Amino acid sequence: MMATLSMSAFSVRAHARSTLNAGARNPVKATMTTRAPRLPATRARGASLVANAAFTPAGAKIAGVGMAVPAQYLTNEDLSELVDTNDEWIRTRTGIGKRHVISGDESLTSLAADASKKALEMAGVDAEDIDLILLSTSSPDDLFGSACTVQAAIGAKGALAVDLTAACSGFVVGVVNGIHFIRGGEYKNVLVIGADVLSRYVDWRDRGTCILFGDGCGAMVLTSTPNPDDCCLLGFDMHSDGTGNHNLTAKFTAEIGAETDGKSKPCAAGEAAPSGRGAFCNIGMNGQEVFKFAVRTVPDTVSKSLDKAGMTSEDIDFLVMHQANQRIIDTAAKRFGLGPEKVVSNIAKYGNTSAGSVPIAMAEAVEEGRIKEGDIVATAGFGAGLTWASAILRW
């Protein structure tokens, strides 16, 4: 994996520079044009194993996108019956009008499977030809992850399916990872899914958080191309800072049952949890701190990705950010001088769907005919962890 990462990062930068030099968006010949020869692995005395040619570099492209949201939704008026809030406050402070929530037989797996099938159809790729599924989520149906149940639901028999947790940055991190796997030459088709059902962890009595979150999922199919210079990832930048973790959490608790009259109680450090049910607390958030973190880090990370791509904000055709608050989206758009025609926002319809928000926004913008082949899309996620990440993609 490390070999893949470092080699791919090199070729991404090489390609981005050559694209800039040519002043065009079409793939151009970059410095890395030949396939690495397959040399035998060698072990020098005192050195670790050197597998210097395990990978045959390939290009990568975005082949399809899809999205799915639950059937039921809650409007701001609905929430005003649960907590002391109102439509005007929610719209002004967040831009949110409604949010979808799972019910009945719906689950994270069912949403992810629906979105994935649409993405595969657009890509013209058979599920059996998927090599790798990366499911970015913080709210799997099973503690051990949901990627494998999604794999079974769509019939991707040949794939390795794994979960990836980076909260609302998860989809961007997943796409960067997926493209690196393809760039290494070992994987041809990678399905990256961003999905969350945070309604399961919302305290519907807390007006500071219950107005924000909705459930939903988006998916993207990435496919290899024979030319290693032809890569849809032009630049990326990813970070985390665990010292800010306390600002946004849904912590594990041990529910100890009879010993505590059925009330759940946090598991103190060093305390052995007797057999009982484990659970996660409701989402706790310091909204103002997360807001400040977002307006500081998003412009910074997008600037760094643009730099690595050898581009400026003038090259951006569309900004597709994590949909957490319209004011955060507006701040970033203003910083880059982007008008509403270049900004994708659907927060009014879906609220904050965490890892689902970026791919849902991308899939809708493609479906509406806004994002088209060849467009330069700047994307960014931020959230719990704390994590933040961005990428410049050529569609």
Query: Smallest gap, in angstroms, from Cβ of residue 292 to ligand ACO?
Result: 9
Q: Residue 243: what are its φ and ψ, rounded to 5°?
A: -70, -15
Count of positions on this chain that bind ligand ACO (CB under 6 A): 22
Binding mask of the shown chain, residues 144 to 163, with x at each position contacting ligand ACO by CB under 6 A = --------------------
Q: How far is CA 17 from CA 49, 60, 198, 356, 374, in A?
A: 32, 17, 40, 31, 17
Instruction: Determine, following the binding rule CB under 6 A, whether residue 354 of this chain makes contact with ligand ACO.
Output: yes
| Near ligand ACO in 65-104, by CB under 6 A | 85, 89-90, 93-94
Give the separation between CA 385 and CA 395, rounded to whole angstroms: 29
Cβ neighbours of residue 115 closer than 8 Å, sequence gap 6 or more:
66, 67, 68, 193, 195, 217, 218, 219, 359, 363
Instruction: Determine, following the binding rule CB under 6 A, whether residue 291 of this chain makes contact with ligand ACO.
Output: yes
Helix (H, G, I), strand (E, B) or coil at 347: helix
Chosen residue from 177, 247, 305, 325 binding ligand ACO by CB under 6 A: 325
Chosen residue from 12, 133, 324, 344 binding ligand ACO by CB under 6 A: 324
Query: Smallest gap, in angstroms, from Cβ of residue 381 to ligand ACO?
Result: 9
Cβ neighbours of residue 390 closer than 8 Å, sequence gap 6 or more:
172, 236, 237, 238, 298, 301, 302, 304, 305, 378, 379, 380, 381
Chosen residue from 115, 123, 147, 168 binding ligand ACO by CB under 6 A: 168
- Stretch of 222-230, 232-240, 262-270, 288-296 lying at the interface with ligand ACO (CB under 6 A): 288-296
Binding mask of the shown chain, residues 107 to 146, with x at each position contacting ligand ACO by CB under 6 A = ----------------------------------------
- Nearest partner of 395 among 367, 362, 364, judged by Cα: 362
- Nearest partner of 119 among 359, 368, 320, judged by Cα: 359
Residues that bind ligand ACO (CB under 6 A): 85, 89-90, 93-94, 167-168, 207-208, 211, 248, 287-288, 290-291, 294, 324-325, 352, 354, 383-384
